[in-house]
Each structure stands twice: as C-alpha cells, then as structure tokens.
C-alpha cells in the first residue's frame, strides 16, 4: 500500500449539476425562518423558540440514537436537570444564566457518565427500558422533592438569558440567543459526525463486532455519545427555563420523549439536518392544522402516518431522493 | 520471525472439547490456512486467537507477546485484525467511510479534537482520505467510493471488508472464510487481492472451505478434524496426507477404534 496514487475522493458536496442544491434549499429555509420569526408576533416567536429548543435537544439525542445507534427513552431526565438546575441557580442563588447553563451542562454530563456506565451494558429493549426508567425517576423526583423543585407548583421567576450586564430582555432577543446556541450545537454535531470519533460511533451502530475488531473501544464510545446527548438535552432544558421563565415537572415529562422521537423519525434520524427539519415541522403542524378545529389531532396524526409510510427515512430522506448528494 | 504462536490451546464448552491442544506457528510473511470439515473447530480456534473468548488451556502469543485474556479491541490495537464469516459492514456508511473507520487503530483524536479541529487533525483527516482512496484502488473498489455499503454486491462486500481491515495496518490479518458465498470469478478476484496484500508484507491466516482457493494461495496449511490438528504442511504435503484424505472423503474409520 505504499503506492504513490494521488487519487482523491470526490468532493462530498458536489451534485449532478455541480451545486449542492439540497444544502442551499435547507439553508434558505433556515434563513427564512429566522428572518420571519423576527418580524412575527409574540405567539409565533414562542412557537419558533420551542421548535429551536427542541431542535437542540433532538440534535443531541440524534447523536446517541441516530449515529451511535443506541436507544434512550430517558433524555428528558437531562433536560429536567438542565431546566431545574438553571432555574435554581439563577433564581435562588443569583448565578449568571450563562454560567448556570454551562454548570448544569457539566453536571448533566457527569450524571450521564455515572448513570450510563452500568446502564449502557444493556442493549436494545433493555437499554430502552432502563433509560425510560431514568426519565420516570427524574420526573418523580421533580414532583416529590418539593423543597428543591416546588413540586407541581412549578418554578417561576427564572430570569432571561444573559451574561454580565447584557440581558436578553425581550422574547425576540432570547430567540436570537437560542438561534446562536442552536447553530453552535449543530456545527458541533456536524464536526463530531465527520471525525474519527463520529465515524467510530456510526461504525458501532453498524456492527459492534466489527467496530471492536478494528480497535474501537465500543463501551467507552457509547458512553461518551450518551454524555454528549445528555449535555445537549441539559442545554435545551436550561434554554426552555429561561425562555419561558417558568418550569414544572410536566414540561420534562414523558410527552417530551414522544415529541422528540416524532421529530427525529419524521425529520430523518442519523442525519444532521433531519432533527432540525423534524423539530420545525412537528412544532408547526398543530398550528397549521388549527383550521381543522375538532379534527386537528386527527389531521396531525394522519399526516404523521403518511410521512412515515411514504418517507420511511424521514423528510430529509425524501429530500435526499429528490436532490441527491452525488453521482452514482 | 514468528508472528503467531499457538501454544497447545484447548477449548471446552461444557463436555464438548471444541479444540484439543492445538499448536502451530505462523511465520511473518506467510499465508497460513486452517482447513477442516464442518464442526472441526476452526471458528473456535479463530475466536480464541482474535480474543472473542479465552482458551480453557494454553495460550496464544502474537508478535512476541501473550494475547490470551485480552479483549478483541486490545488485540486489534496490537495489530491483529480480523474479518467475519458473515460480512459485518457498517451498512449505513459509504464504502469510503467504511475504510476510513479502519484507520481508527492507527490514528488519534477524540471529541475535543473533532470539535476544535487543530491543524494536526485536519492533516490527519486529509491523509486518511488519501490513503482510503489508495486502498480502494488497491482492492478495485474506487468506482464505489460513495456508494452506501449495503448496496454493494456480495463479492464487493467481501473485498470491502478486506479493504477496511487493511486500513487498520494489520501485522496479521485473520480472514474467516473469505470466499464463502462467492462465485468463481469473485473468488478469483479475492485470491488476487489476498495475494497482493500478502506481497505488501501483511501476514495472513485464513479459515477456508474452498480447497481450490487454499491450495492456490496458502504457503502452509493446518488441518483440523474433530477439534484436533491432524496434519500440517505445504499444500503439496497436505494434498498427499492420508489422514486429510480420510477426513475429507468421509472415511473416519481411522479414529473410530
């Protein structure tokens, strides 16, 4: 293999017609949403803000589920850690929101490391059950440890995001901060995906046997990608707390798991853009369907079913078929 | 120089003796084949060498160090890389990406370097891409670089597995029935690639059913039957060995009494 061949791989962004049309389309859509949200009214800002926070959450979950191929039904636990952590630190102890965000991310990562170490020995359904239990336990704690979390009453008076003298004092300013953090999160995920580490994770999803035989420490990498997903979930939880100013146990309940799974599979799991597409579409659908009145939920579910049947690899997969990456 | 030293290894599964004190050595630069009828204990032997499970007795030394008891990943890290009888590709990744994963052993970098991308990491990524292209050229899969692995025809999946293993820069490559399920042409192509790999300095040990392939490419052959090594030698010696002929033609009277 010491040959002097200098053939290089085709540029991964080239398409049939030379331009990466899919990426351009997605970029234009993203810009359109950002621009629209800054001209829209308060309600739209809230909906888009939630979509962006979910997009961040799903980007992390996608790393663990889409790339590393493991199941977690309990990521809401880490969103709760982030949300309550930020709420308590900023409202009760007057910690800077930006500092609280980073602290809770670190804490959630640490918890994921400790919890993940024994849990990730499980596989498939067993791992799913164990992580589901993790979510339930966190939910119960957030209800019953009232001294800390104020239980069902919820936690209010959480200040908006900010650092030092700069505070995002309007919803639109908050949204801008969320967009910036989401962009950072997506860039980080994309960099991780196309790295030695990310390739190894995707290899684990393909075949643990073969990954191990190539010298990849399977257990350690699964654990690291679980921690990554937890850190993203924690950040999403913190952003939610600051964006709304109020959290309660229900916010981080099982509904969050269902919602994020819908987003992942509908958008296209295992891709960078998929979770974003899913988060936006699933957040918008109920609003679009509002005109159906009583049949709103029925219409929503029918559309979901149709997408899952006709685009089994999600909307991003559908888009890939229409605007493929490369020749051949 | 001895690359692999198998020292009287025995494997018992309950009352079943799958391998009964088998011993042989593979010298550096050889293509060493292990053959035998179904159930002879070839795969058990292979799994003990690769570290899937430890031997009940005896030990395996690779490149001068005892490796029995180490994990598969640790053994792989030391330069002993295997392929699988049932192809274990990373199906959702492209052909090129599959090979790129192969470089894991000989490259460095974790989460931090992925996020920060210091110049060294960028250089490493570039090298990985270049060497991947070379390896794909080497095994004749260049035209498939950007195809998702599970869309490849079976023969090419086999070649890709070999390509991926090569990326790991193995000192010893273990091939588990590489020709299983291949047609004549695909087998010939595989033989060509295996020989070329060997000529590039990689020692190879393979398990194989396809006697034509083994006789054609192996320098040395060990024959297993009922968990014991019944013969070892050059292809010519093996071809003429009475016990081997008996084992392969079904005449087991030799050990029934």
Does residue A308 belong to the interface with chain B, where contact is any CB pair within 8 Å? no
Strand boundaries in A146-300, DSSP class E: 155-156, 162-163, 166-167, 246-247
Does residue B114 belong to the interface with chain A, where contact is any CB pair within 8 Å? yes
Q: What would the pLDDT profile of B98-110 be if each residue is shown by its tens digit?
A: 999 999 988 888 8
**Residue of A2, A8, A9, A211 best to disrupt the B interface, most CBs of B under 10 A:** A9
Q: What would the pLDDT profile of A64-82 be if each residue is shown by its tens digit?
A: 999 999 989 999 999 999 9
The confidence score (pLDDT) of residue B250 equals 61
Put simply, the answer to whether B50 touches A198 (Cβ < 8 Å) is no
Q: What would the pLDDT profile of A262-302 be if each residue is shown by its tens digit?
A: 999 999 999 999 999 999 998 988 888 777 778 878 888 88
Nearest residue to A276 via CA among A226, A309, A315, A308: A315
Chain A residues with beta carbon closer than 8 angstroms to that of B107: 196
Sorted by sequence, the CB contacts under 8 Å of residue A164 that are 6+ apart come out as A96
CATH architecture, domain defined by B2-256: 3-Layer(aba) Sandwich (3.40)
Q: Which range, A98-107, A139-148, B161-170, B244-253, is most confident? A: A98-107
Q: What would the pLDDT profile of A204-221 be if each residue is shown by its tens digit?
A: 999 998 998 888 999 999
Nearest residue to A199 via CA among B130, B81, B170, B107: B107
Put simply, the answer to whether A5 touches B137 (Cβ < 8 Å) is yes
- For residue B255, is pLDDT > 60? no
> CB A8: neighbour CB atoms within 10 A?
11
- For residue A183, is pLDDT > 60? yes
| 78-107 of B, contacting A, C-beta below 8 A | 81-84, 88-93, 96-97, 100-105, 107
- For chain B, report the end-to-end CA distance as a whole number of angstroms: 40
Complex ipTM value: 0.81
- For residue B257, is pLDDT > 60? no
Chain pair A-B, CB pairs under 8 angstroms: 139
- How does DSSP classify residue B94? B
Helix runs in A74-170, H state only = 76-87, 97-119, 124-144, 146-149
| 242-281 of A, contacting B, C-beta below 8 A | 270
Does residue A83 belong to the interface with chain B, where contact is any CB pair within 8 Å? no
Tokens for A113? 């490391």
**Residue of B51, B78, B88 best to disrupt the A interface, most CBs of A under 10 A:** B88
Put simply, the answer to whether B72 touches A213 (Cβ < 8 Å) is yes
Chain B residues with beta carbon closer than 8 angstroms to that of A9: 96, 129, 132-133, 145-146
| Confidence band of B249 (pLDDT split at 50, 70, 90) | low
The confidence score (pLDDT) of residue A1 equals 39
- For residue A202, is pLDDT > 70? yes
Under 8 Å between Cβ of B158 and B192? no
Under 8 Å between Cβ of A139 and A80? yes
Under 8 Å between Cβ of B32 and B220? yes
Q: What would the pLDDT profile of B92-144 be if each residue is shown by its tens digit?
A: 999 999 999 999 988 888 898 889 888 889 999 999 999 999 999 998 999 99
- For residue A40, is pLDDT > 50? yes
- For residue A19, is pLDDT > 50? yes
Give the three-class secondary structure for A126.
helix
Of B71, B109, B137, the CB nearest to A197: B109
The confidence score (pLDDT) of residue A94 equals 86
Give the three-class secondary structure for B148.
strand
C-alpha distance from residue A21 to each of A13, A14, A27, A314, B140 (Å): 9, 9, 10, 18, 31
Chain A residues with beta carbon closer than 8 angstroms to that of B81: 213-215
pLDDT above 70 covers what percent of chain A? 94
Does residue B151 belong to the interface with chain A, where contact is any CB pair within 8 Å? no
CB-hemisphere CA count at 13 Å for B113? 15
Among chain A residues, CA nearest to B196:
A1
Largest CA distance in chain A: 70
| 6-25 of B, contacting A, C-beta below 8 A | none
The confidence score (pLDDT) of residue A18 equals 67
The confidence score (pLDDT) of residue A300 equals 81
- For residue A304, is pLDDT > 90? no
The three-state (H, E, C) secondary structure of chain B, written as one string? CEEEEEEEEEEEECCEEEEEEEEEEEECCCEEEEECCCCCCHHHHHHHHHCCCCCCEEEEEECCEECCCCCHHHHHHCCEEECCCCCCCCCCCEHHHHHHHHHHHHCCCCHHHHHHCCHHHHHHHHHHHHHHHHHHHHHCCHHHCCCEHHHCCHHHHHHHHHHHHHHCCCCEEEEECCCCCCCHHHHHHHHHHHHHHHHCCCEEEEECCCHHHHHHHCCEEEEEECCEEEEEECHHHHHHCHHHHHHHHCCCHHHHC
Does residue A1 belong to the interface with chain B, where contact is any CB pair within 8 Å? yes
Question: A202: distance to nearest CA of chain B, Å?
Answer: 8
Q: What would the pLDDT profile of A108-153 be if each residue is shown by its tens digit?
A: 999 999 999 988 888 878 888 888 888 889 888 888 888 888 888 8
Put simply, the answer to whether A212 touches B109 (Cβ < 8 Å) is no
State the average pLDDT for chain A: 87
Under 8 Å between Cβ of B166 and B138? yes
- For residue A166, is pLDDT > 80? no
Put simply, the answer to whether B97 touches A202 (Cβ < 8 Å) is yes
State the average pLDDT for chain B: 89
Element (H, E) at A276: helix A273-288
Q: What would the pLDDT profile of B218-236 be if each residue is shown by its tens digit?
A: 999 999 988 899 989 999 9
Put simply, the answer to whether A1 touches B114 (Cβ < 8 Å) is no
Q: What would the pLDDT profile of B147-172 be if each residue is shown by its tens digit?
A: 999 999 988 998 999 899 999 889 99
Measure the CA–CA gap between A174 and A30, rounded to whole angstroms: 18
Chain B residues with beta carbon closer than 8 angstroms to that of A8: 129-130, 133
Q: What is the mean pLDDT of residues A319-328?
A: 72
The confidence score (pLDDT) of residue B123 equals 92
């Amino acid at each position: 293999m010491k040959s002097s061949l200098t053939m290089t791989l085709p540029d991964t962004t080239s398409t049939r017609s030379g331009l990466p049309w899919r990426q351009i389309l997605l970029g234009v859509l993203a810009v359109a949403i950002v621009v629209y949200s800054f001209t829209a009214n308060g309600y739209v800002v809230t909906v888009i803000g939630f979509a962006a926070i979910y997009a961040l959450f799903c980007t992390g979950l996608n790393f663990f589920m889409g790339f590393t191929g493991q199941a977690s039904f309990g990521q809401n636990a880490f969103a709760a850690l982030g949300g309550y952590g930020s709420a308590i630190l900023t409202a009760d102890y007057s910690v800077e929101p930006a500092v609280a965000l980073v602290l809770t991310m670190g804490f959630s990562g640490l918890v994921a490391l400790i919890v993940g170490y024994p849990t990730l020995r499980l596989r498939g359904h067993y791992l799913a059950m164990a992580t589901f239990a993790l979510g339930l336990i966190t939910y119960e704690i957030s209800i019953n440890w009232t001294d800390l979390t104020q239980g069902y009453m919820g936690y209010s008076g959480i200040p908006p995001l900010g650092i030092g003298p700069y505070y995002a004092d309007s919803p639109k300013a908050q949204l801008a901060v969320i967009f910036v953090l989401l962009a950072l999160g997506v860039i980080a995920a994309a960099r991780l995906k196309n790295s030695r580490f990310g390739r190894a994770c995707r290899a684990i999803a393909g075949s643990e046997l073969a990954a191990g035989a190539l010298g990849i420490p399977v257990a350690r990498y699964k654990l690291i990608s679980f921690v990554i997903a937890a850190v993203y979930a924690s950040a999403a939880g913190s952003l939610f707390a600051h964006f709304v100013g109020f959290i309660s146990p229900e916010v981080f309940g099982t509904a969050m798991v269902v919602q994020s799974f819908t987003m992942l599979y509908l958008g296209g799991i295992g891709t960078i853009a998929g979770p974003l597409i899913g988060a936006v579409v699933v957040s918008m659908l109920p609003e679009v369907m509002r005109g159906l009145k009583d049949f709103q939920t029925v219409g929503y579910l029918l559309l979901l079913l149709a997408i899952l049947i006709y685009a089994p690899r999600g909307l991003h997969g559908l888009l890939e078929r229409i605007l493929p990456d490369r020749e051949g | 120089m001895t690359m692999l030293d198998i020292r009287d290894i025995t494997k018992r599964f309950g009352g079943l003796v799958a391998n009964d004190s088998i011993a042989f050595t593979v010298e550096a630069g050889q293509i060493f084949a292990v053959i035998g009828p179904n159930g002879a204990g070839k795969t058990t032997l292979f799994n003990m060498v690769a570290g899937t499970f430890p031997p009940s007795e005896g030990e395996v030394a690779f490149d001068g160090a005892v490796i029995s008891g180490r994990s598969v990943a640790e053994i792989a890290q030391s330069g002993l890389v295997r392929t699988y009888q049932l192809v274990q590709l990373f199906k959702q990744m492209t052909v090129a990406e599959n090979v790129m994963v192969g470089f894991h052993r000989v490259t460095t970098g974790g989460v931090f370097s992925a996020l920060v991308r210091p110049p060294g990491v960028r250089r490493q990524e570039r090298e990985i891409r270049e060497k991947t292209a070379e390896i794909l050229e080497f095994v004749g899969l260049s035209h498939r670089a950007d195809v998702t692995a599970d869309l490849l025809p079976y023969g090419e999946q086999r070649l890709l597995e070999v390509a991926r293993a090569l990326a790991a820069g193995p000192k010893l490559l273990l091939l588990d029935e590489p020709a299983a399920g291949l047609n004549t042409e695909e087998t010939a192509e595989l033989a060509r690639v295996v020989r070329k790999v060997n000529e590039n300095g990689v020692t190879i040990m393979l398990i194989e059913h396809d006697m034509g392939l083994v006789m054609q490419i192996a320098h040395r052959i060990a024959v297993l039957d009922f968990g014991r090594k019944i013969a070892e030698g050059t292809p010519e010696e093996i071809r003429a060995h009475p016990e081997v002929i008996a084992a392969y033609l079904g005449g087991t009277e030799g050990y029934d009494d």
